[in-house]
Each structure stands twice: as structure tokens, then as C-alpha cells.
């Protein structure tokens, strides 16, 4: 039996650490390509933080009602039923979590190559070895996983705040104040740019995945999601402000290593230090995904909708070893299948936010089903859920109907999951 031991601090570290990864270092370039506007970029980061905070508030209420492990999986099961919950776990394993680990490790290897040169032909095998190392970190015990999460996140946060101070305090402004009307137009690809924004914010709900291991899940999990989202929003807005303080929009659009290029503008030859920061950041973030998401696979197996071999915890270390290994192996497969980081994060983001939307709608259905819609507390949550649902529905629809296959390929995994579900059910 696993001991409950994750503290509020550890849950906040998971919420922050699983959110801040490659996004703040990579996606501002793709966002600027879709919305080449100073005020537009600022607005998108603030909007992403607001949408995530609204989602965190709704999920915090769900976390207060349902404290069992599994997070979104458990919420979907309690509001929609077994099949939608299974499909989330299925997509988490085949698309979202494994794809995120693969994307983060690809970024880790790219920046590691700037520190220790090696041939491009070796990238795939180095990425695979990195995932194996992460798996070992999360095998020994829950305590070692918590230690890994805390240390990796603290080091990453110190480095990010150092970059923000460097850009905002010592950096020389490269832009002039401009009018909103001169730089923002409705014809810009707002929905496409929002993919990068929401990819960067995705992860605030991951603390709920390990609620079964929390000391006080009813109090700590909701608080961790809210605190984590507030801190991440502040960090992203400040980082974006720092980039625009030392680089023009055109320079951001044409940059391949944005954070390193911005640091070089302030202190020449400092790019290697930033590359080291980014490599450590994405490595730590990938490790947190290895820690949190196998609990979903374990929960599905316990409920009989997935292979029973993944329901067991290691007799000595207490972690879901088989589930961790399954996820890691599939992430390694994705490293060799996919090549482009941008396509991979688009593939992951649309699918994950589809299920966040489904969870929010399920919350509304539950309120009305229980006849609680007239309670003042619930009326506030209904308004929040409506705002969240409208924005995310617009975001998914605009991208899924675009000419970018990566935007809807992840959703195509859902019909495959339905077939697999009924086969398992029959068995």
C-alpha cells in the first residue's frame, strides 16, 4: 500500500514544474509568426493565463468534491461515465503525456548539442537514453520522485528569474511604444498563436493526478493548482516582456534559440549559460510528466478497463512501475516517429484541451443534475465554466478546421480508443 506523503509544497512544485518547460523558451517565436504584434503577444500571454486560472478554479471545485487519485480521469468518470474517462486515459498515454515527454526531450537534446557537440544521427538514441534516466529517477520511491520534482523545479525557477532580471534590469530596450490600433488586426492568426500559448500553460492540473498520494488532497490539490497557475502566469508575462525589451518582433520571429539570443544582446557570449538553463528546465519538466501521469494508467487498470498488469505498484518502492515503463517506452517510440517540435506540441495541445473542455462541460452537467444551480457558490462556478468552455471551443474548432494536420491528428486517436475500450470490455 502506497503511503500518502506529498505535501502542499510538493504539489505546487508539480503544478509549476509540469507547466514551465519548453514553452517560455520556444513558443514566443511561433506566436510572433502568427501575431507579429507587441501588444498582441502581451495580450495572448495574459489571455492564456486568465483562461488557465478560470480552468484551475473550476478544477479546484472538482478537486474539492472528488479527492481520489486520477485528476481529470476521475472527474470525467464521475461526470460523464466510464467511456469518456477511459478515452482521456487512452489519449493521455498515446498522445498527450508521452507526446509531451518526447517533445521536451527533443528540445533537451537540441540544446544539449550546443553544450556538448555530437552528430545529428545520434540525437534519437541520446533522447531515448534520457528518457530511460528519467524513468529510473521515478522508480525507486515516492520520496525520491518528490525530491526530484522539488530540486528540478527550484533550480529551474531560479534560472528563469535570473533571465527575467537580466533582460528587464540590464537589457536595453530595442522597441519604441506603439499604438494598439497600429499593431493589432483581426486578420492575424489568433487561434494558431494560441496553440503555443496554451501549450506553454498546460500542466496546471497535473497536481490533481497525484491527489491519491497527497497528505490533505481536499485542501492541498485545489490550492496547489491555483497558486501554480498564478505564479506561472506572472513568470510568462515577465519573460515575454523581457524578450520584447531587448529584441524587436522581427528578431523574435527569426530566432531559433530565443532565450539565448536575448541573453546575448545583454551579455555577449552568454548563450551557453542559457542553453544549459533550458536543457535542465525541459529535462526536469519531462521528469515530472514521467512521475504524474502513470497514475492514470494504474487507475484505469484497477477499474478493469486496461490490462491488469499495470494496476500493481512495485512491492518495495510503491510506484506504478509497469505503467511508468509503458509510458516511457511509448515516448521513446514517438521520439523516432516525430521530427518537428512545432507539429508535436500542436498535436498534443489540441487533444489535451479537448478533454479539459469535456471535463468543464461535465462539471456543468453535474451541477444541474444534482439540482444545485441556484446555490450562489455554484452560480459563480457556472459562469466561470461557461467562459472557459466558450474560449476553448473556439480555440479547438478554429485549429481543427485549419489546414494543419497536426492540429487534428491527435483527435483521430479517440475513435481508435473507442474500439479498444469495447474490446477490453468484452474480454
DSSP structural state of residue 406: H
| Contact of 14 with 149, CB cutoff 8 Å | yes
Phi, psi of 361, deg, nearest 5: -65, -40
Residue 19 reports pLDDT greater than 50 = yes
259-295: pLDDT as tens digits: 888 888 888 888 788 888 788 778 877 877 787 778 7
**pLDDT above 90: residue 414:** yes
Please count the other Cβ atoms lying within 10 Å of the Cβ belonging to residue 28: 29
- Res 243: pLDDT: 92
Q: At what angle do helices 82-91 and 72-79 cross, to 10 degrees?
A: 160
pLDDT in tens, 118-162: 888 888 899 999 999 888 877 765 666 667 666 766 777 777 888
Q: Tell me the Ramachandran region of residue 132: left when phi exceeds 0, alpha when psi lies from -120 to 50, beta otherwise.
A: alpha
What local confidence, expressed as pLDDT, does residue 183 receive?
61
Residue 89: predicted pLDDT: 85
DSSP-assigned beta bridge partners for residue 6? 214
CA nearest neighbour of 111 among 328, 341, 406: 341
Query: Please, how many CA atoms are within 13 Å of residue 153, restricted to the half-sphere of its CB?
Result: 24
How do residues 313-357 score in pLDDT, each as one tens digit?
766 666 788 888 888 998 998 888 876 788 888 889 999 999 999
Q: Which pLDDT score is estimated for 353?
A: 94
Q: With respect to CATH, is domain 8-426 assigned 3.20.20.220?
A: no
Model confidence, pTM: 0.83
pLDDT score at 172: 65
Nearest 5 degrees, angle CA 349-CA 240-CA 25? 55
79-120, pLDDT tens digit by residue?
999 899 889 888 988 898 889 898 889 888 888 887 888 888
pLDDT for 148 equals 65
DSSP 10-71: HHHHHHHHTTSSSHHHHHHHHHHHHS--HHHHHHHHHHHHHHHHHHHHHHHHHHHH--STTT
Cβ neighbours of 234 (radius 10 Å): 12
Report residue 259 as a C-alpha cell: 532565450
Amino acid at each position: 500500500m502506497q503511503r500518502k506523503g506529498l505535501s502542499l509544497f510538493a504539489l505546487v512544485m508539480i503544478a509549476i514544474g509540469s507547466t514551465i518547460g519548453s514553452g517560455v523558451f520556444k513558443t514566443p517565436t511561433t506566436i510572433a509568426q502568427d501575431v507579429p504584434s507587441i501588444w498582441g503577444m502581451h495580450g495572448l500571454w495574459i489571455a492564456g493565463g486568465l483562461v488557465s486560472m478560470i480552468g484551475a478554479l473550476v478544477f479546484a471545485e472538482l478537486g474539492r468534491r472528488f479527492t481520489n487519485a486520477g485528476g481529470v480521469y476521475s472527474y470525467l468518470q464521475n461526470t460523464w461515465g466510464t467511456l469518456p474517462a477511459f478515452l482521456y486515459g487512452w489519449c493521455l498515454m498515446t498522445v498527450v503525456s508521452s507526446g509531451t515527454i518526447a517533445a521536451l526531450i527533443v528540445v533537451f537534446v537540441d540544446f544539449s548539442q550546443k553544450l556538448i557537440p555530437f552528430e545529428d544521427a545520434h540525437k534519437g538514441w541520446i533522447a531515448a537514453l534520457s528518457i530511460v534516466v528519467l524513468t529510473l529517477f521515478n522508480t525507486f520511491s515516492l520520496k525520491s520522485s518528490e525530491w526530484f520534482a522539488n530540486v528540478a523545479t527550484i533550480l529551474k525557477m531560479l534560472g528563469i528569474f535570473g533571465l527575467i532580471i537580466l533582460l528587464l534590469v540590464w537589457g536595453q530596450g530595442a522597441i519604441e511604444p506603439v499604438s494598439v490600433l497600429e499593431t493589432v488586426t483581426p486578420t492575424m492568426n489568433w487561434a494558431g498563436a494560441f496553440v503555443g500559448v496554451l501549450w506553454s500553460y498546460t500542466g496546471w492540473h497535473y497536481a490533481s493526478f497525484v491527489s491519491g498520494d497527497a497528505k490533505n488532497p481536499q485542501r492541498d490539490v485545489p490550492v496547489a493548482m491555483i497558486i501554480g497557475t498564478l505564479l506561472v502566469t506572472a513568470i510568462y508575462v515577465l519573460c515575454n516582456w523581457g524578450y520584447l525589451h531587448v529584441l524587436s518582433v522581427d528578431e523574435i520571429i527569426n530566432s531559433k534559440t530565443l532565450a539565448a539570443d536575448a541573453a546575448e544582446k545583454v551579455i555577449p557570449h552568454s548563450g551557453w549559460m542559457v542553453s544549459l538553463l533550458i536543457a535542465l528546465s525541459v529535462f526536469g519538466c519531462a521528469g515530472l510528466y514521467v512521475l504524474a501521469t502513470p497514475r492514470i494508467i494504474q487507475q484505469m487498470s484497477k477499474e478493469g478497463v486496461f490490462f491488469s498488469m499495470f494496476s500493481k505498484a512495485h512491492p518495495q518502492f510503491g510506484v506504478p512501475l509497469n505503467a511508468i515503463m509503458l509510458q516511457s517506452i511509448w515516448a521513446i517510440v514517438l521520439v523516432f516517429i516525430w521530427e518537428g517540435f512545432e507539429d508535436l506540441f500542436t498535436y498534443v495541445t489540441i487533444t489535451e484541451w479537448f478533454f479539459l473542455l469535456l471535463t468543464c462541460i461535465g462539471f456543468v452537467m453535474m451541477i444541474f443534475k444534482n439540482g444545485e444551480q441556484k446555490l450562489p457558490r455554484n452560480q459563480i462556478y457556472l459562469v466561470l465554466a461557461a467562459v472557459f468552455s466558450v474560449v476553448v471551443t473556439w480555440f479547438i474548432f478554429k485549429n481543427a478546421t485549419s489546414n494543419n494536420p497536426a492540429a487534428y491528428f491527435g483527435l483521430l486517436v479517440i475513435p481508435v480508443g473507442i474500439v479498444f475500450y469495447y474490446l477490453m470490455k468484452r474480454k
